[in-house]
Amino acid sequence: MNEVIRTHELTKAVKGKTIVSDVNLHVKRGEIYGLLGPNGAGKTTMMKMLTGLIIPTSGEIMLFGKKLTEASKDGLKRVGSIIEYPIFFEHLTAMQNLRIHCEYLGFYDHKAITQALDMVGLQGIDDKKVKDFSLGMKQRLGIVRAMITKPELIVLDEPTNGLDPIGIKEMRDLIRMLNKEYGITFLLSSHILGEIEQVADRIGVIQHGKLVNEVALADIRKLRTNYIELVTSNVQKSVYLLETELHLSNMKIVQDKKIRIYNTGASPSEISKMLVSHDIEIEEIQKHTSTLEDYFYHQIQGGVSGE
């Protein structure tokens, strides 16, 4: 079974308002899948349905190839999750919190707790109460708690929200390590492309409750193109000269005064030298590479920021 999650037309409506609409999501075993979308797009609602916290209005969820229903929640035993913020008993230590969690699950294995603490670098904090933890440590402890039952899939809702840059990097490294060393599949959500692109293998873009696209980051990177952008008031004559003098053919006029020249062997200085020698006035000339932001911007027409 290569697919850990597959949904078919998954939909959630609350009080007549559709929050998640006909989503067909596919998460493959062993990958880090990033669900990317602006605030309010429906990411948390998706994750709540996938982890059995809320019931879909319609559609289907397959977890590890088995249908998730009210009557059959077997697949959830193989899933760990943190949805929204991890909540702890603040006046207790990490170990005490984890013991209570294990007792609640009816699963007590002291070794599994210490192993999980070691794995995320939280060893040696036995006496420290959770109220004295940084947000980054709380997030790590949340992951320990999600990992105790040795899940094959971990679902994390905005795991870097509120963390400082060092905390963000540590969280990213931890997710990567757990994925590579222990083969854990991850489903993460974020509203920041710059963050998710550094950790995810594949991205699903969600907006207004709809999954706009699912794409492997490696495939988008292959689509990146280089181009030179030229601004001049004499567009027609410039195009003619570029074709006849430099034998460039792959270009388009993108605005009144702007020409984009794609896959060119010529450099901006060669182009400007040639045009100037024909009395063309150049207002601006610059080399560009299309970015991931460009790609996603076109996907959702400006709804996701690359901040």
Residues in contact with ligand ATP by CB under 6 A are: 14, 19, 37, 39-45, 191
Give CA–CA dist 251/278, Å, rounded: 19
Tell me the closest approach of the beta carbon of residue 104 to ligand ATP, in angstroms.
25
Tell me the closest approach of the beta carbon of residue 185 to ligand ATP, in angstroms.
20
Q: Which is nearer to ligand ATP, 42 or 86 (CB)?
A: 42
Q: Which is nearer to ligand ATP, 48 or 101 (CB)?
A: 48
Question: Per-residue DSSP letters for the chain?
Answer: --EEEEEEEEEEEETTEEEEEEE--EEETT-EEEEE--TTSSHHHHHHHHTTSS--SEEEEEETTEE--SS--GGGGGEEEE-SS----TTSBHHHHHHHHHHHHT---HHHHHHHHHHTT-TT-TT-BGGGS-HHHHHHHHHHHHHTT--SEEEESSTTTT--HHHHHHHHHHHHHHHHHH--EEEEEES-HHHHTTT-SEEEEEETTEEEEEEEHHHHHHH--EEEEEEES-HHHHHHHHHHHH----EEEEETTEEEEES-SS-HHHHHHHHHHTTPPEEEEEEEE--HHHHHHHHHTS-S---
Tell me the closest approach of the beta carbon of residue 6 to ligand ATP, in angstroms.
20
Tell me the closest approach of the beta carbon of residue 184 to ligand ATP, in angstroms.
22
Q: Which is nearer to ligand ATP, 54 or 253 (CB)?
A: 54
Give CA–CA dist 235/258, Å, rounded: 7
Q: Which is nearer to ligand ATP, 152 or 157 (CB)?
A: 157
Tell me the closest approach of the beta carbon of residue 195 to ligand ATP, in angstroms.
13
Q: Which is nearer to ligand ATP, 14 or 135 (CB)?
A: 14
Q: Which is nearer to ligand ATP, 13 or 231 (CB)?
A: 13
Q: Which is nearer to ligand ATP, 45 or 232 (CB)?
A: 45
Tell me the closest approach of the beta carbon of residue 293 to ligand ATP, in angstroms.
19
Tell me the closest approach of the beta carbon of residue 157 to ligand ATP, in angstroms.
7
